A and B are shown apart, each in its own frame.
Chain A
Amino acid sequence: MTEGWVVVGLVGGLTVAFKALGPVVLGGRPLPPALTGALALLAPAVLAALLVTQTFGAEGGLVLDERALGVGAAAVVALTWRRAPTLLVIALAAAVTAVARLLGLGG
Protein backbone atom coordinates (compact mmCIF):
# COMPACT_ATOMS: atom_id res chain seq x y z
CA MET A 1 0.00 0.00 0.00
CA THR A 2 1.49 3.34 -1.09
CA GLU A 3 -0.08 5.21 1.83
CA GLY A 4 1.91 3.06 4.23
CA TRP A 5 5.19 3.74 2.44
CA VAL A 6 4.55 7.51 2.43
CA VAL A 7 4.06 7.38 6.20
CA VAL A 8 7.16 5.21 6.64
CA GLY A 9 9.22 7.72 4.61
CA LEU A 10 7.91 10.87 6.27
CA VAL A 11 7.97 9.58 9.86
CA GLY A 12 11.40 8.04 9.30
CA GLY A 13 12.81 11.23 7.76
CA LEU A 14 11.44 13.43 10.53
CA THR A 15 12.65 11.15 13.32
CA VAL A 16 16.13 10.82 11.84
CA ALA A 17 16.27 14.63 11.62
CA PHE A 18 15.02 15.11 15.21
CA LYS A 19 17.60 12.70 16.61
CA ALA A 20 20.47 14.09 14.51
CA LEU A 21 19.76 17.82 15.00
CA GLY A 22 21.62 18.35 18.30
CA PRO A 23 24.63 16.09 17.56
CA VAL A 24 25.09 17.47 14.01
CA VAL A 25 24.83 21.14 15.02
CA LEU A 26 26.64 20.98 18.38
CA GLY A 27 28.31 17.57 18.32
CA GLY A 28 31.62 16.85 20.00
CA ARG A 29 31.88 20.25 21.63
CA PRO A 30 31.25 21.12 25.27
CA LEU A 31 27.93 22.92 25.73
CA PRO A 32 27.48 26.17 27.67
CA PRO A 33 27.39 25.43 31.45
CA ALA A 34 23.76 26.59 31.85
CA LEU A 35 22.61 24.24 29.08
CA THR A 36 24.63 21.37 30.56
CA GLY A 37 23.03 22.04 33.95
CA ALA A 38 19.55 21.92 32.47
CA LEU A 39 20.17 18.84 30.31
CA ALA A 40 21.52 17.01 33.38
CA LEU A 41 17.94 16.98 34.66
CA LEU A 42 16.35 16.02 31.34
CA ALA A 43 16.41 12.26 31.95
CA PRO A 44 14.46 12.26 35.24
CA ALA A 45 11.97 14.81 33.85
CA VAL A 46 11.27 12.91 30.61
CA LEU A 47 11.35 9.40 32.14
CA ALA A 48 8.90 10.45 34.87
CA ALA A 49 6.60 11.95 32.24
CA LEU A 50 6.69 8.76 30.15
CA LEU A 51 6.08 6.68 33.29
CA VAL A 52 2.99 8.56 34.48
CA THR A 53 1.34 9.06 31.08
CA GLN A 54 1.70 5.37 30.24
CA THR A 55 0.43 4.31 33.67
CA PHE A 56 -2.55 6.64 34.01
CA GLY A 57 -3.17 7.92 30.49
CA ALA A 58 -6.33 6.98 28.61
CA GLU A 59 -8.07 8.45 25.59
CA GLY A 60 -8.80 12.06 26.58
CA GLY A 61 -8.19 11.69 30.32
CA LEU A 62 -6.54 9.94 33.22
CA VAL A 63 -7.71 6.64 34.71
CA LEU A 64 -6.76 4.39 37.58
CA ASP A 65 -6.90 0.85 36.21
CA GLU A 66 -5.06 -2.47 36.39
CA ARG A 67 -1.89 -0.89 34.97
CA ALA A 68 -1.58 1.24 38.13
CA LEU A 69 -1.65 -1.92 40.27
CA GLY A 70 1.06 -3.55 38.17
CA VAL A 71 3.30 -0.48 37.99
CA GLY A 72 2.67 0.18 41.71
CA ALA A 73 3.90 -3.30 42.61
CA ALA A 74 6.94 -2.77 40.38
CA ALA A 75 7.59 0.61 42.05
CA VAL A 76 7.68 -0.97 45.51
CA VAL A 77 10.31 -3.44 44.32
CA ALA A 78 12.35 -0.95 42.26
CA LEU A 79 12.49 1.66 45.03
CA THR A 80 13.21 -0.69 47.95
CA TRP A 81 15.59 -3.08 46.18
CA ARG A 82 18.16 -0.88 44.48
CA ARG A 83 19.74 -3.68 42.45
CA ALA A 84 16.50 -5.32 41.38
CA PRO A 85 16.95 -6.88 37.91
CA THR A 86 15.20 -4.75 35.27
CA LEU A 87 13.46 -7.74 33.73
CA LEU A 88 12.03 -8.74 37.11
CA VAL A 89 10.57 -5.25 37.60
CA ILE A 90 9.04 -5.32 34.10
CA ALA A 91 7.72 -8.89 34.39
CA LEU A 92 6.20 -8.18 37.81
CA ALA A 93 4.26 -5.19 36.43
CA ALA A 94 2.98 -7.24 33.50
CA ALA A 95 2.06 -10.24 35.68
CA VAL A 96 0.22 -8.21 38.35
CA THR A 97 -1.66 -6.30 35.62
CA ALA A 98 -2.60 -9.49 33.80
CA VAL A 99 -3.82 -11.20 36.98
CA ALA A 100 -5.77 -8.11 38.05
CA ARG A 101 -7.48 -8.08 34.65
CA LEU A 102 -8.24 -11.77 34.90
CA LEU A 103 -9.86 -11.20 38.29
CA GLY A 104 -11.70 -8.13 37.04
CA LEU A 105 -10.05 -5.79 39.55
CA GLY A 106 -9.50 -2.08 39.02
CA GLY A 107 -12.14 -0.43 36.90
Chain B
Amino acid sequence: MRAPPFSLLSFLGPGFRRGWPLTVAVAAFGIPFGFLARDAGMGPVAPVVMSATTFAGSAQFAAVSILGAGGTIAAAVGAAALLNGRYVPIGLSVASVLGGPWWRRALLAQLVVDESWAVANRGDGRIDRDVLVGAGVLLWLGWVGGTLLGVLGASVLPDPETLGLDAAFPALFLALLAPQLRSRPNLAAAAGGAAIALALHPFAPAGVPIIAAAAACLPGAFLRGERS
Protein backbone atom coordinates (compact mmCIF):
# COMPACT_ATOMS: atom_id res chain seq x y z
CA MET B 1 0.00 0.00 0.00
CA ARG B 2 2.97 2.34 0.45
CA ALA B 3 3.47 4.32 -2.73
CA PRO B 4 6.89 5.99 -2.69
CA PRO B 5 5.71 9.51 -3.64
CA PHE B 6 3.49 9.58 -0.55
CA SER B 7 5.92 7.95 1.85
CA LEU B 8 6.51 11.25 3.66
CA LEU B 9 2.84 11.34 4.58
CA SER B 10 2.31 7.59 4.93
CA PHE B 11 2.39 7.89 8.72
CA LEU B 12 -0.96 9.67 8.43
CA GLY B 13 -2.63 6.57 6.94
CA PRO B 14 -3.59 4.71 10.15
CA GLY B 15 -5.06 7.90 11.61
CA PHE B 16 -7.04 8.55 8.44
CA ARG B 17 -8.43 5.02 8.51
CA ARG B 18 -9.46 5.26 12.17
CA GLY B 19 -10.62 8.84 11.93
CA TRP B 20 -12.76 9.10 8.83
CA PRO B 21 -16.07 7.82 10.28
CA LEU B 22 -15.67 10.29 13.15
CA THR B 23 -14.84 13.03 10.68
CA VAL B 24 -18.15 12.51 8.88
CA ALA B 25 -20.00 13.08 12.16
CA VAL B 26 -17.83 16.04 13.17
CA ALA B 27 -18.23 17.72 9.77
CA ALA B 28 -22.00 17.18 9.98
CA PHE B 29 -21.93 19.06 13.28
CA GLY B 30 -19.74 21.84 11.88
CA ILE B 31 -22.54 22.85 9.54
CA PRO B 32 -25.05 23.85 12.26
CA PHE B 33 -22.19 25.52 14.16
CA GLY B 34 -21.33 27.72 11.18
CA PHE B 35 -24.98 28.53 10.64
CA LEU B 36 -25.61 29.32 14.31
CA ALA B 37 -22.48 31.48 14.57
CA ARG B 38 -23.38 33.54 11.53
CA ASP B 39 -26.92 33.83 12.85
CA ALA B 40 -25.47 35.15 16.14
CA GLY B 41 -24.02 38.09 14.23
CA MET B 42 -20.40 36.91 13.97
CA GLY B 43 -20.20 37.34 10.21
CA PRO B 44 -18.88 34.68 7.83
CA VAL B 45 -15.14 34.76 8.64
CA ALA B 46 -14.96 34.72 12.46
CA PRO B 47 -16.75 31.33 12.85
CA VAL B 48 -14.30 29.66 10.43
CA VAL B 49 -11.31 31.24 12.22
CA MET B 50 -12.77 30.03 15.51
CA SER B 51 -13.11 26.44 14.24
CA ALA B 52 -9.54 26.54 12.91
CA THR B 53 -8.02 27.85 16.13
CA THR B 54 -10.24 26.61 18.97
CA PHE B 55 -11.07 23.25 17.32
CA ALA B 56 -13.37 22.05 20.12
CA GLY B 57 -17.04 21.78 19.22
CA SER B 58 -18.90 21.96 22.51
CA ALA B 59 -17.05 25.07 23.73
CA GLN B 60 -17.60 26.84 20.42
CA PHE B 61 -21.35 26.05 20.46
CA ALA B 62 -21.58 27.31 24.05
CA ALA B 63 -19.71 30.58 23.41
CA VAL B 64 -21.69 31.37 20.28
CA SER B 65 -25.07 30.52 21.84
CA ILE B 66 -24.33 32.82 24.77
CA LEU B 67 -23.32 35.67 22.42
CA GLY B 68 -26.37 35.06 20.24
CA ALA B 69 -28.65 35.25 23.26
CA GLY B 70 -27.19 38.65 24.17
CA GLY B 71 -24.80 37.38 26.86
CA THR B 72 -21.58 39.17 27.78
CA ILE B 73 -18.11 38.43 26.38
CA ALA B 74 -17.04 37.30 29.86
CA ALA B 75 -19.92 34.80 30.07
CA ALA B 76 -19.16 33.38 26.63
CA VAL B 77 -15.41 33.07 27.26
CA GLY B 78 -15.91 31.72 30.79
CA ALA B 79 -18.27 28.98 29.63
CA ALA B 80 -15.93 27.98 26.80
CA ALA B 81 -12.92 27.94 29.14
CA LEU B 82 -14.70 25.60 31.57
CA LEU B 83 -15.77 23.31 28.73
CA ASN B 84 -12.22 23.14 27.40
CA GLY B 85 -10.57 22.77 30.81
CA ARG B 86 -10.51 19.00 30.24
CA TYR B 87 -7.82 19.58 27.62
CA VAL B 88 -5.27 20.26 30.38
CA PRO B 89 -5.34 16.65 31.72
CA ILE B 90 -5.92 15.30 28.19
CA GLY B 91 -2.84 17.23 27.01
CA LEU B 92 -0.84 15.74 29.89
CA SER B 93 -1.84 12.24 28.79
CA VAL B 94 -0.37 12.73 25.30
CA ALA B 95 2.72 14.69 26.42
CA SER B 96 5.09 11.72 26.52
CA VAL B 97 4.52 10.79 22.85
CA LEU B 98 4.97 14.31 21.45
CA GLY B 99 8.64 15.04 20.95
CA GLY B 100 10.76 17.68 19.25
CA PRO B 101 11.22 21.37 20.03
CA TRP B 102 8.62 23.11 22.21
CA TRP B 103 6.87 24.83 19.30
CA ARG B 104 6.43 21.54 17.49
CA ARG B 105 4.95 19.93 20.61
CA ALA B 106 2.61 22.92 21.02
CA LEU B 107 1.54 22.65 17.38
CA LEU B 108 0.95 18.88 17.44
CA ALA B 109 -1.01 19.31 20.69
CA GLN B 110 -3.55 21.41 18.77
CA LEU B 111 -4.57 18.27 16.85
CA VAL B 112 -5.82 16.82 20.13
CA VAL B 113 -9.60 16.81 20.27
CA ASP B 114 -11.85 14.32 22.09
CA GLU B 115 -12.23 12.14 19.00
CA SER B 116 -8.56 12.01 17.87
CA TRP B 117 -7.45 11.42 21.46
CA ALA B 118 -9.96 8.62 21.97
CA VAL B 119 -9.07 6.68 18.79
CA ALA B 120 -5.36 7.08 19.56
CA ASN B 121 -5.89 5.55 23.01
CA ARG B 122 -4.93 1.89 22.83
CA GLY B 123 -7.05 1.06 25.87
CA ASP B 124 -4.09 0.31 28.11
CA GLY B 125 -3.23 3.99 28.53
CA ARG B 126 -0.68 4.13 25.74
CA ILE B 127 -1.21 6.68 22.97
CA ASP B 128 -0.55 5.92 19.31
CA ARG B 129 1.07 9.14 18.09
CA ASP B 130 0.54 8.52 14.37
CA VAL B 131 -3.17 7.80 14.86
CA LEU B 132 -3.47 10.93 17.03
CA VAL B 133 -1.88 13.13 14.38
CA GLY B 134 -3.54 11.51 11.33
CA ALA B 135 -7.03 11.48 12.84
CA GLY B 136 -6.44 14.99 14.21
CA VAL B 137 -5.57 16.40 10.78
CA LEU B 138 -8.62 14.77 9.17
CA LEU B 139 -10.98 15.86 11.96
CA TRP B 140 -9.62 19.42 11.76
CA LEU B 141 -10.32 19.52 8.02
CA GLY B 142 -13.82 18.13 8.59
CA TRP B 143 -14.65 20.57 11.38
CA VAL B 144 -13.37 23.63 9.52
CA GLY B 145 -14.95 22.45 6.25
CA GLY B 146 -18.31 21.82 7.93
CA THR B 147 -18.19 25.25 9.54
CA LEU B 148 -17.45 26.82 6.15
CA LEU B 149 -20.47 25.08 4.61
CA GLY B 150 -22.60 26.33 7.50
CA VAL B 151 -21.60 29.99 7.15
CA LEU B 152 -22.04 29.78 3.37
CA GLY B 153 -25.75 29.56 3.95
CA ALA B 154 -26.74 26.08 4.85
CA SER B 155 -29.99 27.71 6.01
CA VAL B 156 -31.90 25.15 3.97
CA LEU B 157 -30.77 22.45 6.42
CA PRO B 158 -33.45 20.99 8.64
CA ASP B 159 -33.26 21.53 12.40
CA PRO B 160 -30.47 19.30 13.84
CA GLU B 161 -32.86 18.03 16.52
CA THR B 162 -35.34 16.83 13.90
CA LEU B 163 -32.54 14.68 12.49
CA GLY B 164 -31.65 13.38 15.95
CA LEU B 165 -28.14 14.87 15.63
CA ASP B 166 -28.11 15.75 19.34
CA ALA B 167 -28.00 11.99 20.02
CA ALA B 168 -25.21 11.48 17.47
CA PHE B 169 -22.52 12.94 19.72
CA PRO B 170 -23.18 10.89 22.85
CA ALA B 171 -23.35 7.86 20.50
CA LEU B 172 -19.97 8.83 19.07
CA PHE B 173 -18.48 8.94 22.58
CA LEU B 174 -20.14 5.59 23.24
CA ALA B 175 -18.50 4.09 20.15
CA LEU B 176 -15.14 5.44 21.33
CA LEU B 177 -15.66 4.23 24.90
CA ALA B 178 -16.90 0.69 24.15
CA PRO B 179 -13.51 -0.78 23.08
CA GLN B 180 -11.93 0.69 26.23
CA LEU B 181 -14.16 -1.25 28.61
CA ARG B 182 -12.21 -4.50 28.47
CA SER B 183 -10.33 -4.27 31.76
CA ARG B 184 -11.70 -3.92 35.26
CA PRO B 185 -9.80 -0.69 36.09
CA ASN B 186 -11.11 0.89 32.88
CA LEU B 187 -14.68 -0.16 33.71
CA ALA B 188 -14.35 1.27 37.20
CA ALA B 189 -12.95 4.55 35.87
CA ALA B 190 -15.80 4.83 33.36
CA ALA B 191 -18.41 4.15 36.04
CA GLY B 192 -16.74 6.63 38.39
CA GLY B 193 -16.48 9.33 35.71
CA ALA B 194 -20.13 8.87 34.73
CA ALA B 195 -21.30 8.99 38.36
CA ILE B 196 -19.32 12.16 39.14
CA ALA B 197 -20.56 13.91 35.99
CA LEU B 198 -24.22 12.99 36.59
CA ALA B 199 -24.03 14.04 40.25
CA LEU B 200 -22.58 17.46 39.42
CA HIS B 201 -24.52 18.23 36.24
CA PRO B 202 -27.64 19.69 37.92
CA PHE B 203 -25.60 22.17 39.99
CA ALA B 204 -22.30 22.94 38.27
CA PRO B 205 -21.73 25.11 35.19
CA ALA B 206 -21.33 23.16 31.94
CA GLY B 207 -17.85 21.66 31.60
CA VAL B 208 -17.12 21.44 35.33
CA PRO B 209 -18.70 17.96 35.67
CA ILE B 210 -16.35 16.70 32.93
CA ILE B 211 -13.25 18.20 34.56
CA ALA B 212 -14.31 16.72 37.92
CA ALA B 213 -14.98 13.34 36.28
CA ALA B 214 -11.35 13.25 35.19
CA ALA B 215 -10.54 12.66 38.88
CA ALA B 216 -11.98 9.14 38.45
CA CYS B 217 -8.62 8.23 36.86
CA LEU B 218 -6.66 9.02 40.04
CA PRO B 219 -6.93 5.53 41.63
CA GLY B 220 -4.92 4.37 38.61
CA ALA B 221 -1.86 5.92 40.29
CA PHE B 222 -1.85 2.96 42.67
CA LEU B 223 -2.54 0.30 40.04
CA ARG B 224 0.61 0.59 37.99
CA GLY B 225 2.16 -2.63 39.22
CA GLU B 226 -0.84 -4.75 38.27
CA ARG B 227 -1.04 -3.58 34.67
CA SER B 228 1.01 -5.24 31.99
Chain A positions within 8 Å of B, measured between CB atoms, are 1, 3-8, 10-12, 14-16, 18-31, 33-57, 60-62, 66-67, 70-71, 74-75, 78-79, 82, 84-87, 89-99, 101
Q: Find chain A residues with CB under 8 A from B176 CB.
A: 47, 86
Q: Which 9 A-B pairs have the closest CB atoms?
A: A40-B125, A93-B171, A45-B193, A49-B213, A97-B164, A98-B164, A22-B91, A4-B42, A12-B53
Verify if B153 is at the interface (C-beta below 8 Å from A): no
Assembly CA distance A16 to B67 (angstroms): 21
Known: A14-B77, A70-B171. A36 touches B125 (CB 8 A): yes
Interface residue? B13 (CB, 8 A)? no
> How long is the Cα–Cα vector from A61 to B203 in the complex, in angstroms?
8
Residues of chain B with a CB closer than 8 A to A74's CB = 167, 171, 174-175
Q: A18-B88, A23-B108, A38-B220 are in contact. List 13 more A-B contacts (CB 8 A).
A: A1-B42, A7-B63, A15-B54, A21-B91, A23-B98, A27-B100, A40-B185, A40-B217, A52-B194, A54-B169, A66-B164, A86-B175, A93-B174
Q: Is the interface of B mostly helix, strand, loop or mixed?
A: helix
* B152 is an interface residue with CB less than 8 A from chain A: no
Provide the bound-state CA to CA distance between A27 and B53, in Å. 21
B167 touches A35 (CB 8 A): no
Give the dominant DSSP class at A's interface: helix
Task: Assess whether A39 is in contact with B77, with CB atoms less than 8 Å apart.
Answer: no
Contacts A51-B174, A74-B175, A90-B171; is A39 near B81 (CB within 8 Å)? no
Cβ 8 A contact of B96, one of A29, A34, A86: A29
How many chain B residues touch A (Cβ–Cβ < 8 Å)? 107
Inside 8 A of A96's CB, which chain B residues have their CB?
164, 167
Task: Tell me the minimal C-beta distance from B175 to chain A in angstroms.
Answer: 4
Contacting pair B221 A53 (CB below 8 A)? no
Do B164 and A40 touch (CB < 8 A)? no
Min CB distance, B12 to chain A, in Å? 19
- Complex Cα–Cα for A26 and B97 (A): 10
From A15, A57, A62, A93, contact of B53 by CB (8 A): A15
CB distance from B117 to the nearest CB of A (A): 7
Residues of A contacting B42 in the complex (Cβ-Cβ under 8 angstroms): 1, 4, 8
Indicate if the CB atoms of B106 and A79 lie closer than 8 Å: no
Contacts of B213 in A (CB 8 A): 45-46, 48-49
Q: In the complex, A23 Cα to B190 Cα: how many Å?
A: 25
Chain B residues positioned under 8 Å from A93 (CB to CB)? 164, 167-168, 170-171, 174
